[in-house]
């Protein structure tokens, strides 16, 4: 409803994931989608598991189906044999295959063990299947458990997403407006963006919510330039100013890591308060 008023062609801060934007949360799922898009362009065969509430047979049934392998649900051993044969054929043809699992922190220990066993599909010199596990910080904690040490030892590369810094928040807001068709006119004052960053703690999902409701409220008041008063009002509506710091970092945790944990903790508390406008 506000698009024409602000010179936009679409809603710039929609919380629905869209690969054209750097997306919500801390960007985990959107990064995976961009990675999958790039892999497919390079001819890599991929399977993407985004719902991990499976038992073991269901998991393998889904993986084989997403790889496009014709099969009927049957014994796990038969599905593994079929998968291994296909992977060998792809390897011999010079192809690469990747299994990407999102929300891995929610996987059962039984499924995580099955993922570990999949890493044993290999030739004498190379792995037949590349596996990517993506999840919330709880995944790290789970992988430290003694019963998962063998899976942890097989992980060769780790990376994390972090909350945005102030300048990154500025760039984020500008880029989303640009992708949404902005004609370049200023929409938020610099001071308003600083407040957005402060209340959102650098979490893109929260930034989106603040900006979306600020646009709606300012449009209702016919304000072409969004200032600090509007952001303060939206933040108060969502009680963003009532989230307290977690205190000083514990022993052995760097200030940077503690700020990351604090931002993610606060964002988790805030998520339940958000409601999309009708």
- What pLDDT digit, counting tens, does each position of 87-110 carry? 999 999 999 999 999 999 999 999
Give 176 or 205, the one with higher predicted confidence: 176
- Residue 59 CA to chain centroid, in angstroms? 21
143 and 212, same domain (yes or no): no
What are the pLDDT digits (tens) for 137-153?
889 889 999 999 999 99
Q: CA angle, 21 as apex, 19 and 24 as ends, to 5°?
A: 95
57 and 114, same domain (yes or no): yes
Give 19 or 123, the one with higher predicted confidence: 123
Domain boundary residue, one of 153, 181, 213: 153
- Asked whether residue 7 is assigned to any structural domain, the reply reads no
Report the C-alpha dihedral over residues 204, 209, 213, 215, rounded to 10 degrees. 20
Q: At what angle do helices 56-66 and 76-92 cross, to 10 degrees?
A: 30
36 and 141, same domain (yes or no): yes
3-state secondary structure of 164: coil
- Residue 147 CA to chain centroid, in angstroms? 27
- The CATH number given to whatever domain includes residue 51 is 3.40.50.300
Structural domain span for residue 118: 28-153
- Asked whether residue 192 is assigned to any structural domain, the reply reads yes
Strand order in the sheet with 130-133: 45-49, 97-101, 130-133
Q: What average pLDDT does range 52-68 have in this prediction?
A: 93
Domain count, the chain: 2
What is this structure's pTM?
Answer: 0.71
Q: CA angle, 135 as apex, 141 and 117 as ends, to 5°?
A: 80
In sequence order, which ranges of 221-273 are alpha helices (DSSP H)?
A: 228-237, 255-271
The answer to whether residue 6 scores a pLDDT higher than 60 is yes
The answer to whether residue 188 scores a pLDDT higher than 70 is yes
Domain boundary residue, one of 96, 121, 153: 153
145 and 184, same domain (yes or no): no
Closest CA to 40 of 20, 67, 65: 67
Say how many residues make up the chain.
278
Q: At what angle do helices 190-200 and 228-237 cross, to 10 degrees?
A: 20
51 and 147, same domain (yes or no): yes
39 and 132, same domain (yes or no): yes
- Please give, one letter per residue, the 3-state secondary structure of 39-60: HHHCCCEEEEECCCCCCHHHHH
Domain boundary residue, one of 90, 123, 153: 153
Please tell me the predicted confidence (pLDDT) of residue 70.
Answer: 83
162 pLDDT tier (thresholds 50, 70, 90): confident
130 and 246, same domain (yes or no): no
What are the pLDDT digits (tens) for 198-234?
998 888 888 999 999 999 999 999 999 999 999 999 9
- The CATH number given to whatever domain includes residue 242 is 1.10.8
246 pLDDT tier (thresholds 50, 70, 90): very low
């Amino acid at each position: 409803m506000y698009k024409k008023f602000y010179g936009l062609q679409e809603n710039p801060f929609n919380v629905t994931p869209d690969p054209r934007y750097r997306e919500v949360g801390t960007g985990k799922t959107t990064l995976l989608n961009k990675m999958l898009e790039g892999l497919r362009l390079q001819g890599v065969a991929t399977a993407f598991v985004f719902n991990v509430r499976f038992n073991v047979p269901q998991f393998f049934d889904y993986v084989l189906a997403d790889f496009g392998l014709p099969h009927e649900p049957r014994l796990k051993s038969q599905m593994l044999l079929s998968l291994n044969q296909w992977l060998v054929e792809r390897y011999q043809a010079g192809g690469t295959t990747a299994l990407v699992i999102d929300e891995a922190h929610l996987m059962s220990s039984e499924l995580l063990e099955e993922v570990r066993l999949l890493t044993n599909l290999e030739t004498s010199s190379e792995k037949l299947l590349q596996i990517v596990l993506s999840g919330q910080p709880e995944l790290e904690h789970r992988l430290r458990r003694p019963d998962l040490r063998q899976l942890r030892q097989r992980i060769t590369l780790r990376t994390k997403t972090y909350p945005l810094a102030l300048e990154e928040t500025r760039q984020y807001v500008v880029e989303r407006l640009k992708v949404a068709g902005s004609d370049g006119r200023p929409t938020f004052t610099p001071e308003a963006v600083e407040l957005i960053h402060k209340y959102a703690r650098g979490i893109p999902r929260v930034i989106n919510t603040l900006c979306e409701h600020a646009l709606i409220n300012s449009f209702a008041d016919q304000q072409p330039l969004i200032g600090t008063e509007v952001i303060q009002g939206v933040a108060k509506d969502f009680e963003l100013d009532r989230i307290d710091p977690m205190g000083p970092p514990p022993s052995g945790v760097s200030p940077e890591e503690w700020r990351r944990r604090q931002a993610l903790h606060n964002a988790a508390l805030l998520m339940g308060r958000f409601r999309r406008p009708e």
